[in-house]
Structure 1
């Protein structure tokens, strides 16, 4: 945790907060703070700054905070991701938040098992927790939005064309002729399929909606690897 992310409910006055639970344990056991020490803090969807520890007990930490710094600029990227396996979903979500992605769409695909949608990691509480971990890692405060669409065809036909408007739209698909572009200077949308990839039908529907198929070369990457590789290739701000 490189920054303690503060939520509205943490504030007891305009400039004082109480931390409990995971964040308290982290600053005590990992950072090793004591009364009087300072640490990096930031308010969700607000500014960043410093917090000074006024009081530290086994159950809570009271900080006085000064928030006077802007968070890093978000990536101008919409990420459309076929719902991953639950065991890797947490890592992908945290990585996406760390990279500065603010608009995440979880979509269905033929190769997405129905059981994936039953994972408890899709609950609002767990989504917030994992996005928070990603933001704390990268010292950011702007909470990403996560949209869930369980029906592929209605989403691609009815919503996706408008979502892609004004963006360079790409679908990562091994075996296509065009390499993934680099050094983008405009908003983009990136579609990444499940393990095994999108089906030819799905790639065709994505192309009909305005996406261009691109590849990363002959190697086939796991989704959790493909996300940071593709995003860092597209945008210099990730490097």
Structure 2
């Protein structure tokens, strides 16, 4: 936890918070705080600053808050991700969030197991937990948006052209594809397939919507590894 995220419910005054949940136990174990010590804090969807320890007990910590910095800038990216298996989804969401992605579409694909869509990992509280962990890791505060799209064809035909309009629209695909373009901080829409990749029909549908197929070399990576590699290649992170 490189940043202690604060919520409106933590505040007992305009500049004072009390923390008594998992964040408190993390602070106690890893920061070993003492009175007067300063910790890096940020309010969810707001600014970043310092929290000075004013009181510490067995069950809670009280901080005086001073916020004076903005959160890191987001990536100019809309990410379309074929729904991974649940364990990989959790890790991947944390990675995506920590790298600054703010708009995520979890989409269906022929190779996405139907059972994945009924996993508890897609419940709102579970998704939020992974996003918060990613923000804490990166020292960010702005929560990404997640959209679920269970039907591939209607999404690609009805939503995707407008969604990707006036952006660098790319689909990660290892076959009959161009080299991944150089890093550039421009509006981008990126589609990443499931384990085994998009099937030819899906690639063709996305190309019809204006997407270009790109690859990152001869090696085939797992989704959780391909995501950070692609983001690092496409943006000057």
TM-score range, shorter chain: over 0.9
1:92-133 CA-partner distances (Å, limit 9, x unpaired): 000001000000100000000011111212111111111111
Q: Is the 8 A contact 1:175 1:218 kept in 2?
A: no
Alpha-carbon distance, 1:75 to partner: 0.5
* Partner of residue 47, structure 2: 47
* Partner of residue 68, structure 1: 68
* Partner of residue 89, structure 1: 89
Alignment map for 1:59-208 (pairs within 5 Å): 59-208=59-208
Tell me the TM-score normalised to structure 2 length: 0.98
Query: SS at 2:18's partner residue?
Result: strand
CA distance in 2, matches of 1:92, 1:210: 26
Q: State the 4+ residue runs in structure 1 displaced beyond 3 angstroms.
A: none
1:184-215 CA-partner distances (Å, limit 9, x unpaired): 23100110000000000000111111111111
Q: Is the 8 A contact 2:4 2:136 kept in 1?
A: yes
Tell me the TM-score normalised to structure 1 length: 0.97
Runs of 5+ unmatched residues, structure 2: none
CA distance in 2, matches of 1:62, 1:150: 44
Query: SS at 2:179's partner residue?
Result: coil
* Partner of residue 57, structure 1: 57
Alignment map for 1:12-23 (pairs within 5 Å): 12-23=12-23
